[in-house]
A = this chain, B = another copy of it.
Amino acid sequence: MPSDLLPLAAATRPLYAGVDLGGTNIKTALVDDAGRVVAFRSEPTLATRGPEDAAARMGRGVIALAADVGLGPGDVARVGLGSPGPLDIPAGTIVRAGNLPDWDGFPLRDRVSAHCGRPVTFANDANAAGYGEFWVGSARGLGSLVMLTLGTGVGGGIIISDVNVEGEHSHGSECGHILVDPGPEARACPCGQPGHLEAYCSATSLVAIARERLAAGAAGPLAAAVADGEELTTLLLGRMAAAGDATARDVILEAARWLGIGIVTFMHTIDPAAVVIGGAMTFGGEADPVGRLFIERVRAEVRARAFPLLAERTPIRYAMLGGDAGSIGAAGLARLDHRRG
C-alpha cells in the first residue's frame, strides 16, 4: 500500500485505475495523470470462487474506489488490468491458470470492463510492474528499462520509449526464460526447459539449490536452523547470510552471478537506460548488507562481461514501488492506450 496518498484536489486529470491481479490479493489503485496514487485498496483474490466472481469484484472495486474519493465511474478514463500469464493479450484471456481450469480462456478483460463500465487495457503483471517502475519508480525520467522481478519465478518487463514489449504472441518480456546455460548439466526451469535464467535466480531455485547443498552435507548455522525445523526460505537465507553462514552467502552470490549473466544479454539487445531488480527476493534492498552484497555481485558480473561503455553507463538498481508497481503500472498502461485514442 502506498505510504502517501495524493489528495484528490491536487490530482491532475484524467484519472486511471490499475488492477493488479495476484494469486493472493487483488490490488487496485486510482492514479492521476502524473502517476500519483489517489486511492488504493487490496482484497483477497479468492481465485477458487472462479473468474466471474473475481471479475465482478475487480470491476466493482474500481467503481467503489472512485466512490471512496467522491467520484463516479465516468471519472476513471480507463482501467489497466495486470494478470499473471501466460496470456492471450489481444483476446483478453488467461491461457492457462495453473490448477484453476475454470480460469483458462475466460474473457477476463471484457468481463472486468462489463462490471465497471470502463474500457480495460490488459497486460502481463510483470510488464505492468515494469511500466510502473519506468513511469514513476526507479527508472522515472529515463527513456527505457528492463525490469526483472525475482519471486516464485522470474518475471520481466521491457519498456522502450513508452512501448511495452508484450510480444507478437503475448510472450514478450519473459525475461526469466532466456537461455543462460545451454549445457547438458543445466538446471531445469519450472516451465520444463533446461537452462533458463529462472532456474538459477528465482526464490524457488535458491531454496532448491540451498536444499541440495544441505543434502550434500553443508554444515553451519543454516544447516542447524533447518535441522531445528525452520522453513528454508529466501528470508532465512538472507538472515543466515547476514549472520555469516557460508552456504547461504554462496547460494545468494551464485544467483547474483547468473542474474548478471542474464543482464548482459539484455544490455546487448535492448540496451536500456536502466536495469531494475524487483520482486519479493531483494534481500532488503540496497540499505541492507545482504541486499547490497547481492546487487554488487550482479554489478560485478556485468562489469566483467558487458561492453565497457554499457557497464559504465547503465545503472542497475532495485525497484522502489514494491508491491504497488503492478497496480500503478497497469494504470500507466491504461493511460498510454487512452492517449493513443
Residues of A within 8 A of B (CB): 86, 142-144, 156, 158, 160-161, 163, 165-175, 177-183, 191, 193, 196, 258, 261-262, 264-273, 305-307, 309-310, 313-314
Choice from B142, B179, B261, B270 contacting A165 with Cβ under 8 Å? B270
* Cα distance, A271 to B178, chains bound together (Å): 11
Given contacts A168-B144, A182-B181, A183-B183, contact A174 B261 (CB under 8 A): no
* Cα distance, A167 to B314, chains bound together (Å): 11
Choice from B156, B175, B179 contacting A261 with Cβ under 8 Å? B179
Which residue of B has the minimal Cβ distance to A163? B163
A179 to chain B: which residues have CB within 8 Å? 180, 261-262, 264-265, 268, 305
In the complex, are the beta carbons of A309 and B169 less than 8 A apart? Answer: yes
* Cα distance, A310 to B165, chains bound together (Å): 15
Residue of A158, A171, A268 with most chain B CB atoms under a 10 A cut-off: A268
In the complex, are the beta carbons of B180 and A270 less than 8 A apart? Answer: no
Residue of A86, A258, A261, A265 with most chain B CB atoms under a 10 A cut-off: A265
With contacts A167-B270, A179-B264 known, what are 12 further pairs, Cβ within 8 A? A142-B168, A143-B168, A160-B165, A165-B270, A168-B272, A169-B314, A170-B271, A172-B269, A174-B269, A174-B271, A178-B264, A179-B265
In the complex, are the beta carbons of A193 and B305 less than 8 A apart? Answer: yes
A193 to chain B: which residues have CB within 8 Å? 305-306
A166 to chain B: which residues have CB within 8 Å? 271
A–B Cβ pairs within 8 angstroms, 15 of them: A86-B307, A143-B168, A160-B160, A165-B271, A166-B271, A167-B270, A168-B272, A169-B309, A169-B314, A174-B269, A177-B268, A178-B264, A178-B265, A178-B269, A181-B183
In the complex, are the beta carbons of B177 and A180 less than 8 A apart? Answer: no
Given contacts A163-B161, A177-B307, A179-B180, contact A269 B156 (CB under 8 A): yes
A273 to chain B: which residues have CB within 8 Å? 168
Choice from B160, B265, B306 contacting A265 with Cβ under 8 Å? B265
